Structure 1
Amino acid sequence: MKIVALVKYVPDATGDREFADDGTVDRDGADGILSELDEYAIEQALQVAENGDDVEVVALTLGPDDAADAIKKALQMGADAGVHVSDEQVHGSDALATSEILAAAIGKIGPDLVIAGMASTDGTMGVVPAMLAERLGWPGVTLASELSVDGDTVKIRRDGDSASQRIEATLPAVVSVTDQSGEARYPSMKGIMAAKKKPVDEWTLEDLGVDAGGVGLAAARTKVTETAPRPPKEAGKVVTDEDGSGATALTEFLVAGKYL
């Protein structure tokens, strides 16, 4: 059995993030990390591998040279191999183009199961897993809080506000997992050393047979028309109680802000 875990290299949310002149995220001007939500996808793929026989986990990413660090982290966690789709022509690709490229890569890898995070922490759209399922013609089961594989069937539990659903699909399938699916493991020293010897393939659009004219910023179906820096945080209001009026002032503040 072969599992593809989708991983994405994103700007670190704890740092300053800005937009480039073309309206895309400035990835060169910020430190990058593996998207936190994708760590749950890797973890679930590794758990399926640990509970099965002869299961290979392949980490797949799409992005510039720095995106190789996302693959590196996945390999350190325990993935067996990596595939990095790297091509300057994909810059500015929207979700539709991203799903087209990833679907082509998945088709070339030939997995039985694709596991993704519920969304990327930079775009937070959460639509790519469903798009991949449609392009591949596979069942798509999303937002899994629990995942298991039994023979040729993948089973998930999806937790809602008032109820949980149990859903099954026949492999091959695409699954997205939430941050409730289980804490992601930290790379061990053994895993870090072993990752250096694991294979990583690098593919271009030509390798995948994807037309460059249909992807990239020029082909994007959406366009950023304007950006503005986030306004600075305002200082909080201090409520004093020197004359016993503090409780009243605090209540008025909460009512005015519609907190009560």
Structure 2
Amino acid sequence: MKIICMVKYVPDVDKFQFDFDKNVVIRHNIRMILNPEDAKAVGLALEIKRKDPSTFVEVLCMGPKSVLPMINDLARIGVDRVTLLSDHLFVGSDSYITSKILGMYLSRQRFDLILTGNHSIDGDTSHVPSQVADLLGLPQMGKVVSVMTDNISRANLCFISENDSAKITFTMDLPGVLSISKESAYKLPYLRYEDTQRSIEDKITILTGEDLGITKSEVGIAGSLTKVKRTFVKEYKKRAQQIVQVDDAGIDKTYEFLRSHGYLGGVHDE
């Protein structure tokens, strides 16, 4: 089985910057992190690979070359190939153009399953997974919390998707696209110290728009049809902070706070 994980490196939410004139996130000279739900998708792929070592896992990322050190670490924890689509022409691409760029690469590949996160913390539209699936003519399902990883076949797989009211089990014919939810339990394995200096250059491929046969007018701000009516920065109210001592009074106060806010709804006093 071959699995391709679509991932995105996003600005650290503590150092988020936005260009209001161009309506784009500023991604240069700020700390980038692997989108949390995409990390869960890679974690799932590597879990499948652990159970079936013949599984081939590729990570596909569109972004600046500054993310290469982090991408290298994915190769060091067990990913077989990492492909970075990087070109200054891609800057400012909306979700549809992003999907087209990813889809152009994927349409030339052989794979059984595409995994990705359900949301990205710098956009949260959830457009890309479904748009990529539509461009490729594949089935797609989001909000996936669990995949039956034992005895996966190349023909189909079973998984559980969760909505606001229920968890539902589905079977999907492959190839297909699954978007992994933040509620899933999948995690990336830790990078072992002995692997930190492991040579992985042969696993990394960097492709530009020219490599994909893309012209300037097709991508970036010029090619994007999305029109932003208004942008704003969400304001957060400062929360009151209360420090309690580690004694009986502090424990009672903490318990009362958790109970009054509904965190201990299933606990009853005897």
- Using structure 1 for the length normalisation, give the TM-score: 0.82
2:206 alignment partner, one of 181, 187, 202:
202
2:158 alignment partner, one of 155, 158, 162:
155
Map of 1:57 onto structure 2:
57
The reply to whether residue 179 of structure 1 matches residue 151 of structure 2 is: no
Alignment length (residue pairs): 238
Map of 1:218 onto structure 2:
222
Distance 1:195 1:49, change over 3 A: farther
Pairing 1:211-250 to 2, within 5 Å after superposition: 211-224=215-228, 226-228=230-232, 231=235, 233=237
Gaps of 5+ in 1: 239-260
Residue identity over aligned pairs, in percent, reads 29
Which sits farther off after the overlay, 117-126 or 141-150? 141-150
Question: Is residue 44–residue 186 contact of structure 2 (8 Å, CA) maintained in 1?
Answer: no
- Give, in angstroms, the shift of residue 194 of structure 1: 3.5
- Give, in angstroms, the shift of residue 104 of structure 1: 1.2
User: Quick one: distance in 1 between partners of 2:199 and 2:130?
Assistant: 30
- Give, in angstroms, the shift of residue 147 of structure 1: 1.4
- Using structure 2 for the length normalisation, give the TM-score: 0.79
Amino acid at match of 1:155: C
Question: Is residue 41–residue 180 contact of structure 2 (8 Å, CA) maintained in 1?
Answer: yes
Pairing 1:67-146 to 2, within 5 Å after superposition: 67-146=67-146
Secondary structure in 2 aligned to 1:201?
Answer: strand
Map of 1:243 onto structure 2:
none
- Give, in angstroms, the shift of residue 49 of structure 1: 1.3
Gaps of 5+ in 2: 243-270
Distance 1:228 1:73, change over 3 A: same
Map of 2:171 onto structure 1:
168
Distance 1:234 1:212, change over 3 A: same
- Give, in angstroms, the shift of residue 69 of structure 1: 3.8
Distance 1:2 1:193, change over 3 A: farther
User: Quick one: distance in 1 between partners of 2:58 and 2:140?
Assistant: 19
Amino acid at match of 2:206: E
